[in-house]
């Protein structure tokens, strides 16, 4: 079992959507287990009503969700930590500096992992893909922050939440394909 930890601020919208949509895009036999946490979250049972509605529209399951705060133990125990914005990646690295090579933004990891596949197809599964993506940091040109961050829909109209959910779904679907190509899912 390899844990993938998605991180946002409140563990209410973005990281929840990433966790549950990733779970919906992985085959049932996958060794990858998506989870989520928030840098300013507190434990609460149940999912935000609007998040759950959007999630279920996209084929995800909102049952049994409990939000939780980001901790050093969660970061240290994850095979990959994916922040929904740069501030979330940075918070994870501050909590567990040794995990730095496994901490990315979701969009950054997708971009770097795709680039690693174009340069050479990493074989050896999940760990090789993460290592290859980390090795491209500083090699590929930087992008503007807006390209790495998925904006927080908190307090915005439901239409904005739906737009962010589609953006997240596209990213996690791309990750599922990358992981399948690298042999990381089986």
pLDDT in tens, 19-63: 999 999 999 889 999 999 999 998 888 899 999 999 999 999 999
Q: Tell me the mean pLDDT in the region 172-177.
A: 93
Q: Which residue has the tokens 């970061």?
A: 75
Asked whether 152 and 14 are in contact (CB, 8 A), the reply is: yes
d(CA 134, CA 137): 6
Is residue 119 over pLDDT 60? no
Give me the pLDDT at residue 121, please.
Answer: 52
Nearby residues of 10 by Cβ (< 8 Å), 6 or more positions away: 38, 40, 41, 67, 154
**What is the set of domains in the chain, with CATH numbers?**
2-182 (3.40.50.2300)
Give the chain's mean pLDDT. 91
With cut-offs at 50, 70 and 90, classify the pLDDT of residue 182: low
Least confident of 28-32, 57-61, 103-107, 121-125: 121-125
**Helix count and strand count (H, E) for the chain:** 8, 6
Give me the pLDDT at residue 186, please.
Answer: 47
């Amino acid at each position: 079992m390899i844990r993938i930890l998605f991180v946002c601020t409140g563990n209410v919208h973005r990281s929840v959507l990433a966790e549950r949509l990733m779970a919906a895009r992985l085959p049932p036999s996958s060794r990858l287990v998506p989870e989520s946490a928030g840098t300013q979250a507190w434990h609460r049972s149940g999912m935000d009503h609007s998040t759950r509605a959007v999630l279920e529209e996209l084929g995800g399951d909102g049952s049994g969700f409990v939000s939780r705060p980001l901790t050093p133990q969660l970061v240290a125990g994850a095979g990959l930590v994916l922040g929904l914005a740069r501030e979330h990646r940075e918070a994870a690295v501050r909590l567990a500096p040794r995990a730095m090579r496994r901490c990315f933004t979701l969009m950054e990891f997708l971009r770097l992992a795709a680039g690693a596949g174009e340069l050479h197809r990493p074989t050896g599964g999940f760990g090789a893909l993460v290592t290859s993506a980390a090795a491209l940091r500083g090699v590929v040109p930087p992008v503007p922050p807006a390209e790495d961050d998925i904006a927080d829909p908190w307090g915005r109209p439901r239409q904005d939440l739906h737009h962010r959910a589609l953006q997240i779904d596209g990213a996690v679907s791309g990750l599922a394909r990358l992981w399948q190509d690298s042999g990381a899912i089986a």
